[in-house]
Structure 1
Amino acid sequence: MSEGRAADGLLKNRLKWKAMTERKLWYVRRDSVVTGPFPEKVIHQHLILGRLGVDDEVSDDVQHWQRVADLDSLIPEVMKGDMDDPEVRERFEAERRWADERLAIDRRTVNGPTDHPERRGVERRGVERPETVVARELKTQLIVENRKRRAPYNNVALVVALSVLGLLMWGALNTTPSPIVVEVDCQAKPAPQVNWDSCQLKGRQWAGVDVHDARARNADFSGSVLDRADLSGADLAYANMSLTHAASANFRGATLVGVDFQLSTLTGSDFSGADLAYANFYRADLRETKLEGVRLDRTVWVDGSICAVGSVGQCTPSGERLR
């Protein structure tokens, strides 16, 4: 009975992981320093704890910036009341104590109430992989939920779930790290370590370019020619590479989580050691590609079948198909 419940808990937490990695993420800019990306929930917690102010700027693409105060969805409900009202202030302080327990970011001492809690200092965490941020947040969520329930079988589920999260975080932290590059430049020419996060780069003729260790999360390369390009160690998570021609390209050690490769020509390309979890290869040409050590969790294969979690180097069908 306890093992069955533990398995159910593990499945639910895997679904939480998938949902958290697919949601909108925000970068934060303060005094020309860019940090993030963070899930909206973490932005709420930063505001409540005073690590982020309403006059700081946020962006979901590192190109278009807005003040936090101008985005109502980012302001926690508990901060929308009149702080001079003792009842509102009491609710805020209670929420801040709760947020401090839940927030899985470097802890610091939170002192008594201030007249302007949003003016407190903000931590200077560098640009991180979203998978690392989300794994840390989900780990804390699991611990807090377990404390609330206190049932013996939940301890089993917690141990199993944290073991899986430990592996996920180990994978995120031990892949080739992308360099911290503050400014995105969508006009930059192809070069190693270039930052093209969220850039529109459709139809580019870039055969043979060297962009190893580049950042291009959420970028759109659809219809581009990247034959023999060196993209080793690049972070292209959630990029659109549908209809691209990238024969004999080098993707070794790249982060390709959620990349859309539909209808792309990838013959002879080397993906060794890359992370292709949740990528989509539907109707792509993968002849003679190298897949040694490639992570293929929930990857959509060329025939529309979905690879099972734990697939490495080859797609083990899960029995599910692309709908």
Structure 2
Amino acid sequence: MRLGRLLPLVLLMGPTLSGCLSEREKTVRRLLETRECEGCDLTDASLEGADLEGARLKGAKLSGAKLARARLRNADLTGAFLESTDARQADLRGVRLEDTRLGHTQFQGANLEGVDLRNTLFQESANFEGANLRGINLEESGLTGPDGPYRRSQKRYLYDVPAGGALLMRADLTGAKLRFSVLAKCNLEGAILRGADLRDANLEQANLDGADLTEARLSGATWTDYSKCGKGSVGQCLPTRPR
């Protein structure tokens, strides 16, 4: 029987079965009861659908954890490890992700509206297919491929191009703050980028097939074909006017 199904029974029976639980199961039980587990080892833990709103998980090891449909609104995941974590359809609004390590993390259908991703550490491509990314802040940072981070330290320098970007198919990026961000080789097919700020962003070789760029600001952006978007580019990449 999976832990997610066993826990309600354990909690009802109280201490009777507590001696039968493994250390990992005891850690999960403590987290569900107190919502505090800073630095805990929750690797591969089953937490599907768990109510962890406001949980303190700073520095926690959640690699491989199952957080699908979990409620993590306003949780503190600063410095946590989320490599290969399943967070599909999870509610992550207001979550803190400073120095949080993501790699092959699954966020399909998750709600990250308004989340600040500027200091999140994307080790390898994450999957945001169909996710709510409205109003996220990714300025001067980027969603990277398997060759490492591509944050640009100084605006005048050229971007490094990742070997493969994040998956953002049909994601809703309405009003997202993406200025100077690196989205090279990201798959944005069918994504909604209405009113997004993409000025000076790098979109080299990104897949924008069917993307909605209505009112998106694109001045200074590097387009998918390596061309530069001219001043006043809104909703489409206009060619740079010759001097």
Please name the residue that 1:310 is paired with: 232
Please name the residue that 2:97 is paired with: 196
Please name the residue that 2:180 is paired with: 258
CA distance in 1: counterparts of 2:228 and 2:199, whole angstroms: 11
- Does structure 2 retain, via aligned residues, the 8 Å contact 1:256–1:277? yes
1:72-111 to 2 correspondences below 5 Å? none
TM-score when scaled to structure 2?
0.52
> Which of 229, 235, 245 is equivalent to 2:131?
229
Query: CA shift at 1:213, angstroms?
Result: 0.9
Change (3 A) 1:198 1:317: farther
Please name the residue that 1:185 is paired with: 78
1:29-40 to 2 correspondences below 5 Å? none
- Does structure 1 retain, via aligned residues, the 8 Å contact 2:185–2:204? yes
Letter in 1 for 2:107: W
After superposition, the C-alpha distances for 1:195-246 in whole angstroms (9 at most, x for unaligned) are 2245332321211111101111143444111100100011121222131111
How many residues align? The count is 140
After superposition, the C-alpha distances for 1:20-76 in whole angstroms (9 at most, x for unaligned) are xxxxxxxxxxxxxxxxxxxxxxxxxxxxxxxxxxxxxxxxxxx9xxxxxxxxxxxxx
Please name the residue that 1:66 is paired with: none
| Root-mean-square deviation over aligned CA pairs | 2.3
| Greater share of residues in strand | 1
**Does 2:166 match 1:244?**
yes
Query: CA shift at 1:184, angstroms?
Result: 6.5
- Does structure 2 retain, via aligned residues, the 8 Å contact 1:220–1:241? no
Name stretches of at least 5 consecutive residues in structure 2 with no aligned partner: 1-58, 60-73, 145-164
After superposition, the C-alpha distances for 1:235-287 in whole angstroms (9 at most, x for unaligned) are 12122213111100000011111111111111000000111111111001000
Letter in 1 for 2:134: S
After superposition, the C-alpha distances for 1:89-143 in whole angstroms (9 at most, x for unaligned) are xxxxxxxxxxxxxxxxxxxxxxxxxxxxxxxxxxxxxxxxxxxxxxxxxxxxxxx
Report SS of the residue matched to 2:228: strand
Name stretches of at least 5 consecutive residues in structure 1 with no aligned partner: 1-62, 64-180
- Identity over the aligned pairs, expressed in percent? 28
TM-score when scaled to structure 1?
0.40
CA distance in 1: counterparts of 2:177 and 2:77, whole angstroms: 18
Please name the residue that 2:206 is paired with: 284
Which protein shows a greater Rg?
Answer: 1
Letter in 1 for 2:204: Y
